[in-house]
């Protein structure tokens, strides 16, 4: 009996050896990433500000999901809709696409809300635009009488006409947490890590994205046009926050100066959520700063008399 391995056995051994080599290479790559500060794939985290004790609820997502969620929220609040509308929209998108801008779906369904061109939601290109898709969802939601008082599943179903209407309910806790942060009710509650690379950012793209999500009034004319002026910052954008009216509407006290406002934290969280896509490396507001270099620490208090107060947000892009 020959002791030489058969061709089939030698083939299996070679395949096993190749698979082990791939696993070892992957393990080495992960180890290098953590050793050199890569820290694995970029992630975003929202934490509740509930002070009742115990573990605070949290929600983790990818930068793509965070950017889409922030766009959905911005489109809703810019239309003057309440936080409940944003929660309904986010729960719907969590169920329909997991907050990913899909280019496929059931039949001709597309995008964050799986809207269908054949049903009059818009062209395929329009539906794949997160701001447009969110606007379409809110247009339909606003036509539902008393939607803010309805159970979330009922409100979402009257817009979506889904075959599985009860599926929206399981996403309500996460959607409520996201909307509290993204509408600014929870301050300094969203942080993101970003790719560890040297790709520079472009302030012009930040300005364009801000206007796309929040409307032309979000920036002063000079800043929106990208011209030099008092509102420009080096390698970044400065966003004014109308704190006085905003604080008053929400029962906050401005004291001797502008108070940190819900609108301010909404804009600041939007910028952090867009950090990976727009190559933003620092966001400062109301004495706190989020930095891409120190993202795991979240928002840090910054003793800097030259930094922005509660009436301004500074967004700096990578250089």
HEC per residue, the chain: CCCCCCHHHHHHHHHHHHHHHHHHHHHHHHHHHHHCCCCCCCCEEEECCCCCCCCCCEEEECHHHHHHHHHHHHHHHHCCCCHHHHHHHHHHHHHHHCCCCCCCCCCCCECCCCECHHHCCCCHHHHCCHHHHHHHHHHHHCCCCCHHHCCHHHHHHHHHCCCCHHHHHHHHHHHHHHHHHHCCCCCCCEEECCCCCCCCCCHHHHHHHHHHHHCHHHCCHHHHHCCCCCCEECCEEEEECCHHHHHHHCCCCCCCCCCCCHHHHHHHHHHHHCHHHHCEEEEEECCEEEEHHHHHHCCEECCCCCCCCCCEEEEEECC
Lowest mean pLDDT among 14-18, 118-122, 158-162, 202-206: 14-18
Answering whether pTM is above 0.85, one says: no
pLDDT for the residue numbered 243: 55
- Kindly state the average pLDDT of the residues 292-308: 81
Q: Which residues contact 7 (CB under 8 A, 6 or more apart)?
A: none
- Listed by start position, the domains of the chain span 60-182, 196-317
pLDDT for 219 beyond 80: yes
Lowest mean pLDDT among 6-15, 129-138, 148-157, 273-282: 6-15
pLDDT for 230 beyond 70: no
- Higher pLDDT: 294 or 55? It is 294
Tens digit of each residue's pLDDT (9 = 90 or more) over 86-98: 999 999 999 999 9
pLDDT for the residue numbered 195: 85
pLDDT for the residue numbered 242: 77
pLDDT > 90: percent of the chain: 62
pLDDT for 192 beyond 60: yes
CB-CB contact of 172 with 91 (8 Å): yes
Q: In whole numbers, what is the pLDDT of the chain averaged over residues?
A: 83
Edge-to-edge, what's the strand order for the sheet holding 44-47?
58-61, 44-47, 190-192
pLDDT for the residue numbered 310: 72
- Residue 56 confidence class, pLDDT cut points 50, 70, 90: confident
pLDDT for the residue numbered 225: 61
Tens digit of each residue's pLDDT (9 = 90 or more) over 17-48: 666 665 665 544 433 333 333 456 899 999 99
pLDDT for the residue numbered 246: 43
pLDDT for the residue numbered 163: 85
Lowest mean pLDDT among 6-10, 25-29, 263-267: 25-29
Residues pairing with 238 in the sheet:
314
- Kindly state the average pLDDT of the residues 225-250: 59
- Residue 255 confidence class, pLDDT cut points 50, 70, 90: very low
């Amino acid at each position: 009996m020959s002791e030489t391995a058969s061709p089939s056995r030698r083939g299996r051994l070679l395949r096993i050896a190749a698979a082990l080599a791939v696993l070892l290479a992957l393990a080495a790559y992960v180890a290098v990433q953590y050793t050199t500060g890569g820290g694995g794939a970029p992630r975003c985290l929202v934490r509740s500000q509930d002070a009742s004790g115990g573990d605070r609820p949290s929600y983790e997502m990818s930068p793509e999901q965070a950017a889409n969620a922030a766009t959905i929220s911005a489109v809703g609040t810019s239309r003057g809709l309440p936080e409940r509308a944003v929660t309904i929209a986010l729960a719907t998108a969590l169920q329909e696409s997991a907050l990913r801008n899909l280019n496929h779906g059931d039949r001709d369904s597309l995008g964050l809300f799986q809207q269908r061109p054949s049903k009059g939601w818009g062209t395929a290109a329009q539906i794949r635009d997160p701001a447009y898709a969110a606007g379409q969802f809110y247009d339909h939601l606003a036509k539902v009488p008393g939607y803010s008082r309805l159970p979330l599943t009922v409100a979402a179903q009257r817009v979506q006409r889904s075959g599985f209407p009860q599926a929206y309910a399981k996403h309500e806790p996460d959607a409520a947490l996201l909307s509290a942060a993204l509408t600014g009710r929870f301050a300094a509650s969203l942080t993101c890590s970003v790719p560890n690379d040297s790709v520079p950012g472009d302030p012009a793209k930040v300005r364009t994205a801000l206007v796309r999500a929040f409307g032309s009034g979000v920036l002063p004319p000079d800043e929106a046009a990208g011209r030099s002026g008092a509102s420009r910052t080096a390698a970044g954008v400065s966003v004014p926050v109308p704190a006085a009216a905003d604080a008053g509407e929400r029962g906050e006290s401005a004291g001797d100066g502008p108070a940190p406002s819900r609108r301010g934290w909404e804009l600041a969280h939007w910028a952090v959520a867009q950090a990976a896509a727009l190559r933003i490396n620092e966001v400062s507001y109301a004495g706190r700063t989020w930095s891409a270099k120190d993202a795991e620490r979240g928002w840090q208090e910054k003793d800097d008399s030259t930094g922005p107060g509660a009436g301004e947000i500074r967004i700096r892009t990578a250089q």
